Amino acid sequence: MAMRAAILRHIRLPARAQTLAAAAAAAPRSWDRSPLGGSRAMSSHGDDHLAKEEVAERVLSVVKSFPKVDPATVTPDVHFQNDLGLDSLDNVEIVMALEEEFKLEIPDLEADKIDSCHLAIEYIYNHPMAG
């Protein structure tokens, strides 16, 4: 047993890669776009992540459509309260709008820290469930 475990430890990675490649070559199926299966339609966990450009573009469009904001002044590294002349309650409203846009549920204490476009883009881009 000990020897078997030692051998397995050494050949684990190459063997896995080989079987995956062999399986993909033998029978191309709908799920082998990614190792875990590309189409997991019923899954709560999406396997595809948003590109950073798309996140930035959608965050900016949300901020620009906020009624109290002049769309011309919005750039990716603008601070909501210092640069756009909003107050803290407007900040809360923007974060809530971003949550709805990306179908997220951000914990209160984390949402409270998001105060600029740059932070919002970073947070949403790194969030596994942003969609």
Partner 1 sequence: MSAASAVSTAGYLARRAAQKERVRILYRRALKDTLNWAVHRHLFYQDASDLRERFEANKRVEDLDTIDRLIADAEASYNKWRHPDPYIVPWAPGGSKFTRNPTPPSGIEIIYDYGREDND
**Tokens found for residue 43:** 């899954």
Closest contact distance (angstroms) between CB of 39 and partner 1 is: 9
Q: Residues 77, 87, 112, 115: which is the catalytic one? A: 87
- The least CB distance from residue 40 to partner 1, in Å, is 5
> Taking the complex as a whole, how short is the minimal distance between the CB of residue 72 and partner 1, in angstroms?
25
Nearer to partner 1, 53 or 112 (CB): 112
Q: What share of the chain is helix, strand, coil (3-state, %, to 5)?
A: 55, 0, 40
Q: How far, in Å, CA of 21 to CA of 6, rounded?
A: 24
Closer residue to partner 1 (CB): 34 or 61: 34
Residues that bind partner 1 (CB under 8 A): 4, 23, 27, 29, 31, 37, 40-45, 88-89, 91-93, 95-96, 103-105, 108-109, 111-112, 129
Determine contact, residues 78/106, Cβ cutoff 8 Å: no
- Minimum CB distance to partner 1, residue 129 (Å): 5
Cα–chain-centroid distance for residue 85? Answer: 28
Q: How far separated are the first and last CA of the chain, in Å rounded?
A: 46
Tokens 């029978």 belong to residue: 27
Nearer to partner 1, 49 or 76 (CB): 49
The yes-or-no answer on residue 87 being catalytic is yes
* Number of alpha carbons in the 13 Å side-chain half-sphere of residue 122: 10
Would you name the residues annotated as active-site residues? Answer: 87
